[in-house]
Amino acid sequence: MLTAGQKKLLVELRSSLAEAVPEGQISESDYATKGYHLELRLDKGGVRRVAQIMLDKRFMLETVTAADFIDSFELVYLYSTYNQQQVRLLTRIRIPKDVQPFSVSAIFPAAIWLEREVYDFFGIRFQEHPDLKRIINPDDADYFPLLKNFGKTKFTDQIDDILC
């Protein structure tokens, strides 16, 4: 049940993204079950180009997060509008371990702390980040907590298996 304004914005967004990041795959998602309207799947890079487009179209960077898929990471960026028709875009990029993506903090200063958090918990280093150091965990920690081979997860056999 998208309004006319939302559809127009989505069409514009798709065209600008397809122009700026031709290697990405854009697909529409069902907002009712997913919570975002567009999904952009990137392969090797292009997060900065996407961020620039989003800034020009007056979107806000809501959050940057990651998930550990054992042999790769998936970095997720969420952009959303704040004063126009409500549209949300989710950008995901699968990067193998040890690959260092670029930081978008030059475009969105909010990313300075968000990327520090991703580094702190996953160990993903961002290139050209002004201040990449630990933020929440102790400064001298030598572990990255949210990796799947750390602590109590399904993959470490330490999971509390009362109900799981």
Nearer to other proteins, 17 or 54 (CB): 54
83, with CB counted inside 10 A (0-12, 13-18, 19+), is: exposed
Residue whose tokens read 């049940």: 1
One residue of 15, 35, 56, 149 binding other proteins per CB under 8 A = 35
Minimum distance, C-beta of residue 23 to other proteins, in the bound complex (Å): 22
Token code pair at residue 136: 């929440």
* C-beta atoms surrounding 156 within 10 Å: 12
Residue whose tokens read 């933020």: 135
Nearer to other proteins, 16 or 80 (CB): 80
Q: Is 146 in the site for other proteins (CB under 8 A)?
A: yes
Q: Is 135 in the site for other proteins (CB under 8 A)?
A: yes
Q: Is 96 in the site for other proteins (CB under 8 A)?
A: no
Token code pair at residue 61: 């960077």
Q: d(Cα 33, Cα 50) in Å, to the nearest integer?
A: 24
Contacting positions for other proteins (CB under 8 A): 32-36, 58, 60-63, 65, 67-68, 76, 78, 80-83, 86, 88, 90, 108-110, 112-114, 117, 121, 134-138, 145-146, 148, 151-154, 159-160, 163-164
